[in-house]
Structure 1
Amino acid sequence: MAFQGIREYIELLEQKGELIRISEFVDPVLEIPEIVDRVSKSPGGGKALLFENTGTDFPVLINAFGSNERMALALGADNLNAIGDEIEDLFKKLVSPKAGLMEKLRMLPMLGQISSWMPKSVTGKGKCQEVVMKEPDMGKLPVLTCWPADGGPFVTLPCVVTRDPETGVRNVGMYRMQVFGPELTGMHWHKHKTGARHFNEYKKRGERMPISVVLGGDPAYTYAATAPLPDNIDEYLLAGFLRKKRVELVKCITNGLEVPSNADFVIEGYVDPEEDFIWEGPFGDHTGFYSLADWYPRFHVTCITHRKDAVYPATIVGIPPQEDAYIGRATERIFLSPMKLTMIPEMEDMELPPAGVAHNLTISKIDKTFAGQAAKVMNAMWGAGQMMFNKVMIVADGQTDIHNYPEIARLVSQVVDPAHDIYFTQGPMDVLDHSSSKFAYGSKMGLDATHKYEEELYAELANYQVPKSSEISVENIKKEIPEVHDINANLLDVGISFVVVSVKKNEPGLVKSLGKKLAAHAAFKGVKFIAIVDEELDIHDMNSVGWYVTGNIDPKRDSQIFEAENEGEVSHLVLDGTRKSGSLDNFKRDWPNPVVSSIETIRKVDAMWPKLGLGELIESPSLRYIPIQKGDGAIAEEKQQ
């Protein structure tokens, strides 16, 4: 389905009962984000929200992609799996051998259909240029300041259009933009992104880099900007495929780039590669932690145009689950087929759990036919585009439903031998990963949870039984091992061999010594996996534990594996999921705080809640995570020991 603008999508959401309009004034600075954080963490993602009174001329649409249903609606599909199935069917038809002339001729309508999805330049002005700001001013847009330690307001759903100066090939990426003034923002592209590569090409040529930023229009444009497409493939071709209608492009007013004619806003400008970078950030990021301030290019705004009825689209990111989890789910479903058809033919399914914030945890399922195949798949996936940022990968097979987290956890408990079925490697990490000892470079861990061939077995525990929580006396262990603050062994009772231990970390080497004590303790004799976390974390909230541990580990550095000494005993993996510091861990980088709202903002929103039309008060999720904070800033303050 092709939307002629974001207003059409809003109308559809309203028809489906997926939208709530809020007419009360709500400040884009901290208040809108706090409301959205509460709603987006509701079961199923809550509703899309349209804030109609923002103190500017423009309403804010947010959480528009924040459920599986809304994500499918945005992409014109009945469900997200249907899009992947269509790609697979199309690919198979295109590459299958054709027996004769007639069979080849039958392909012509399909080729015509594909060509109808190609973006097309049109003459004249577009709807996106109905209003031209004579003096561009970013302050006239309801740009959100999302979290208390953010460096300022950030544009959070920008489709950033750049062009390769050598080939002329267009790229559309999503790079956050901190607003510094009426005509100045940052351009936060990471070193691995296509926009950064284009920038380097312009720098070599000594030329200014033209950039245009698209906001709104058909939701397919926004999704396409986030999609992990190969370099040199136009995102507007993907958008055309999704909407089943070509994207019509018009030329910008102050640069030669082209943008969708039905966008809501277009921000035109340039980056000068010869100019000094600007200190950008911090920003409460999708990892659930702040990404810390750093130097990024200056984007100079030369023109802002918009529709007469423009709606400003935005999102917030932070501790999962939030809206970005559903965008990630769409990517998982849409790009499973291309990955399977081009690189990993044995791939059957893939899951990106929200707690893993897209790159910290991936679960894949394969059709296993030979020994070592799980390791082969791990290495292939770690070499596939943005999968290079993955930190922990689980590979399963058989009838396991990898979207059922208790089921996959029980499988891992039964078939993974921590001493022999866990693999480590090194490679690039996401720039936002705060836990690796080196910036954007660290270790990865793969767990082979497939059923083993004889060649892969080291010791067979045919009758392994997960122990019961009653075998672990928390009070006795706390007396014997004073470093232990609390223990959650409840998962043992549902067949999951995983225990969480919280600790007051106050001396160097404490976690490693505690890991040895726990692995050697009789109460943990049958437990395969132990995670150690900080005492402030709620260890009975397993979503929080999953997010915290996968976010805080550099897998090789923070893993202790204790191999079983006797036949019939289990090996142990102990993970150090605590925050790291210079004094206790010799960690050389600043450690970020978790992304939480302020008590002041929480109280303001609590007071205004009855006027918002959102039903019964939803408690702020930040209240669960404020205890993890160390100080109020973006950087966790390290207390002197």
Structure 2
Amino acid sequence: MFRNLRAYLEALERRGELRRVRVPVSSELEITEIADRMVKGGGPALLFEQVVGKDFPVAIGLFGTRERTAFALGVKDLDELARKVEVLLELKPGTGGLSALLGLLPKLPLLKGFFPRRVAKAPVQEVVLRGEEVDLSRLPVLKCWPQDAGPFLTLPLVITKDPETGELNLGMYRMQVLDRRSTAMHWQLHKVGRRHLEKAKRLGKRLEVAVALGGDPVLTYAATAPLPPLPGVSEFHLAGFLRGAPIELARGVTVDLPVPAEAEFVLEGYVDPEEPPVVEGPFGDHTGFYTLPDLYPRFHVTAITHRRRAVYPATIVGMPPMEDAYLIEASERLFLPPLRLILPEVADYHMPPEGIAHNWVNVAMRKEYPGQAYKAAYGMLGLGQMMFAKVIVAVDADVPVKPGFATLLKALEHTLPGRDTLLLRGPIDVLDHSARAFAFGGKLLLDGTRKLPEEGGEVPFTPRAHAELPGDPEALAQRQWPGVWGVALRKERPGQAFCLAERLLRTPQSEGIRLLLLADHDTALTPEELLWAVLNNIDPERDARVMEGVAGPVLVLDGTRKLPEEGFQRGWPQRILMDEEVKARVAARWEAYGL
């Protein structure tokens, strides 16, 4: 448990996991380039003490490694989160009368801190700015990527209250700064904040909003967690349970909402549902691509409160690996025990970083009857945010679910394309740019478990990777791994990828291959980048085909950009890349940063 962000930073510094950058840096692109290099290299968290033209320092990389994320959440390793929840789920009074109730007593300390505590005095309200004093430009809000529409708050803890039930929600939604006293609020279609706003509109009310920055890092994590809807339980309860001490909440100075007393900043205000939405974006998102501009509500800031000598917390998202991968892994571990309660056959699951959470899920299961892999996949697709999963790969319980590529290779040994692959439709994350329609698209289930006689049994297969690959003028780069073939091409006409696939699969080098991945020319053919690119760029129902190779069927995934002539009428976003000038400037200053 850390009382606040400052306590966490001090603890990181004692562990040698925090570096201070004392020279002036820019909040526009420069901090992003430095932080991106650090997180991809497994480096320490950073505290930028001087940000040009801003009043506060920036802390970034707070969850930048698996080990640091575990430390932030108060556990030795992320698997400990699952063990904590497993013990909690055993708190059942049963029917044993007094003896059963007494049996609960040793476990009740697990609930210590579950309920938030109200306080009258809050460090986050040491400085209060209202009305004309409000000026968001004083905050070192980052412009992360070159094509971003402006600076975005990237670690905001957004607090709203259901206008009908009074239930609280703490969520993390990016916020584009529009001017000195307003931001856009990225409440997507499926988010709780969006539902609260729609209810406020029906009731003819403004929706009060408070946005906290900082506090115990456990609270920041809780805002990202896919907490199921439980009456009377909010992310504040989850954070208190994880830290073993209650979250202290104070009343906002201009809104009737609780705010974390130990936060660094709180922005208070409202969203008027009758006001026209504003254009938000583009934004370099966690997909590794820019989210295209869209319409979202405007958040009006009526007050800013903050600590004296406050520290502004931030993160960056983009092409993996980024630190959000470790927050996702924490949620995996935390929600594994409840998943097992609903689907007892599930032994483990993992969302590889290359799949940016929703695009790829590996699930290991204890298989007892034919078709059970599909049953498990269907069940997972019916659970909360797991409904957004695009590709689910099932394997037997004795197969590790990570690293993701190794699991996929093992699954292909037991997958006959066409027989053991299934296409579905369903809800898709609104950030998915490749879906057939907004928030709606195809899904792919791949059954990589050992097959029972009723399922057709095992089909003999020896995965191969050929040293010499066929020469084709459109195959700009090629690489094979046992069972998998990756190809990069320059997309110029509709249907080009599948035409190339047909030619390649007629060659002897398709023998021993069960998965052919086609990607755009700018994709590096490493397993991680290839899978990231292809999974981002497919709607499985449109872009997955089973085609015949020289030795049997092959699953082909067209992960190239889609053209209007292929029926794709929405805009296709650009991949996130940093300006070369910024990269050169950071490289030249690296020694000055002290890194």
Interval containing the TM-score (normalised by the shorter chain): over 0.9
Retained in 2: the 8 A contact 1:155–1:177? yes
CA 509–201 in structure 1, closer or farther in 2 if over 3 Å, else same: same
Distance 2:527 2:439 in 1: 27
2:72 — aligned with what? 74
5+ residue gaps in structure 2? Answer: none
5+ residue gaps in structure 1? Answer: 615-641
Specify which of 554, 577, 587 is matched with residue 572 of structure 1.
Answer: 554
Comparing 368-377 with 131-140, which one deviates more in the overlay? 131-140
Retained in 2: the 8 A contact 1:423–1:445? yes
Retained in 2: the 8 A contact 1:422–1:447? yes
Report the secondary structure of 1:228's partner residue.
coil
Percent identity between the two aligned chains? 45
Q: Matches of residues 305-316 of structure 1 in structure 2 within 5 Å? A: 305-316=305-316
Retained in 2: the 8 A contact 1:437–1:588? no
Distance 2:122 2:185 in 1: 25
| C-alpha deviation, 1:392, in angstroms | 0.7
| C-alpha deviation, 1:523, in angstroms | 2.5
| C-alpha deviation, 1:84, in angstroms | 1.1
Specify which of 128, 135, 144 is matched with residue 132 of structure 1.
Answer: 128
Report the secondary structure of 1:178's partner residue.
strand
Retained in 1: the 8 A contact 2:483–2:513? yes
Q: TM-score, normalised by structure 1?
A: 0.90
Specify the code of the residue in structure 2 equivalent to 1:28: S
Retained in 2: the 8 A contact 1:288–1:595? yes
Count of residue pairs brought into register by the alignment: 590
Specify which of 94, 97, 102 is matched with residue 97 of structure 1.
Answer: 94
Specify which of 473, 477, 495 is matched with residue 509 of structure 1.
Answer: 495
2:400 — aligned with what? 401
Q: Matches of residues 294-443 of structure 1 in structure 2 within 5 Å? A: 294-341=294-341, 343-405=342-404, 407-443=406-442
List structure 1 segments (4+ residues) > 4 angstroms apart after TM superposition.
Answer: none
Residue 595 of structure 1 pairs with residue 576 of structure 2: yes
Retained in 2: the 8 A contact 1:280–1:293? yes
Retained in 1: the 8 A contact 2:362–2:404? no
Retained in 2: the 8 A contact 1:437–1:589? no
| C-alpha deviation, 1:155, in angstroms | 0.4
Q: Matches of residues 115-126 of structure 1 in structure 2 within 5 Å? A: 116-122=113-119, 124-126=120-122
| C-alpha deviation, 1:563, in angstroms | 5.3
Residue 586 of structure 1 pairs with residue 567 of structure 2: yes
Specify the code of the residue in structure 1 equivalent to 2:126: E
Distance 1:171 1:559 in 2: 38
Q: TM-score, normalised by structure 2?
A: 0.96
2:527 — aligned with what? 542
2:586 — aligned with what? 605
Distance 2:255 2:534 in 1: 46
2:242 — aligned with what? 242
| C-alpha deviation, 1:108, in angstroms | 4.2
CA 95–129 in structure 1, closer or farther in 2 if over 3 Å, else same: same
Residue 553 of structure 1 pairs with residue 538 of structure 2: yes
Report the secondary structure of 1:561's partner residue.
strand
Report the secondary structure of 2:89's partner residue.
helix
Retained in 2: the 8 A contact 1:264–1:310? yes
Report the secondary structure of 2:491's partner residue.
coil
Report the secondary structure of 2:542's partner residue.
coil
1:562 — aligned with what? 547
Distance 2:422 2:49 in 1: 52
For each residue in 1:322-354, what CA deviation from the matched residue of structure 2 results, as whole angstroms up to 9, or x when unmatched? 11111111111111111112x211111111111
Distance 2:414 2:425 in 1: 25
Retained in 2: the 8 A contact 1:400–1:407? no
1:525 — aligned with what? 511
2:228 — aligned with what? 230
| C-alpha deviation, 1:538, in angstroms | 1.9
Report the secondary structure of 1:77's partner residue.
coil
Retained in 2: the 8 A contact 1:184–1:299? yes
1:269 — aligned with what? 269
2:486 — aligned with what? 500
| C-alpha deviation, 1:96, in angstroms | 6.6
Specify the code of the residue in structure 2 equivalent to 1:69: E
Retained in 2: the 8 A contact 1:22–1:52? yes
Report the secondary structure of 2:55's partner residue.
coil
Distance 1:113 1:523 in 2: 57
Q: Matches of residues 183-202 of structure 1 in structure 2 within 5 Å? A: 183-202=181-200
Specify the code of the residue in structure 2 equivalent to 1:562: M
1:622 — aligned with what? none
For each residue in 1:204-239, what CA deviation from the matched residue of structure 2 results, as whole angstroms up to 9, or x when unmatched? 011000000010011111001000001253000000
Specify the code of the residue in structure 2 equivalent to 1:557: R
For each residue in 1:570-617, what CA deviation from the matched residue of structure 2 results, as whole angstroms up to 9, or x when unmatched? 31111101111214x231110000111111211221221110111xxx
Specify the code of the residue in structure 1 equivalent to 2:473: P
Distance 1:179 1:409 in 2: 41
For each residue in 1:399-427, what CA deviation from the matched residue of structure 2 results, as whole angstroms up to 9, or x when unmatched? 21121345413312311111211111100
Retained in 2: the 8 A contact 1:515–1:560? no
Specify which of 455, 476, 480 is matched with residue 485 of structure 1.
Answer: 476
CA 515–252 in structure 1, closer or farther in 2 if over 3 Å, else same: same
For each residue in 1:40-94, what CA deviation from the matched residue of structure 2 results, as whole angstroms up to 9, or x when unmatched? 111xx321111111132211110110111111111111111111111111102x2
Report the secondary structure of 2:478's partner residue.
strand
1:636 — aligned with what? none
Distance 2:173 2:385 in 1: 15
CA 113–300 in structure 1, closer or farther in 2 if over 3 Å, else same: same
CA 546–468 in structure 1, closer or farther in 2 if over 3 Å, else same: closer
| C-alpha deviation, 1:109, in angstroms | 5.6
Specify the code of the residue in structure 1 equivalent to 2:13: E
Retained in 1: the 8 A contact 2:465–2:512? no
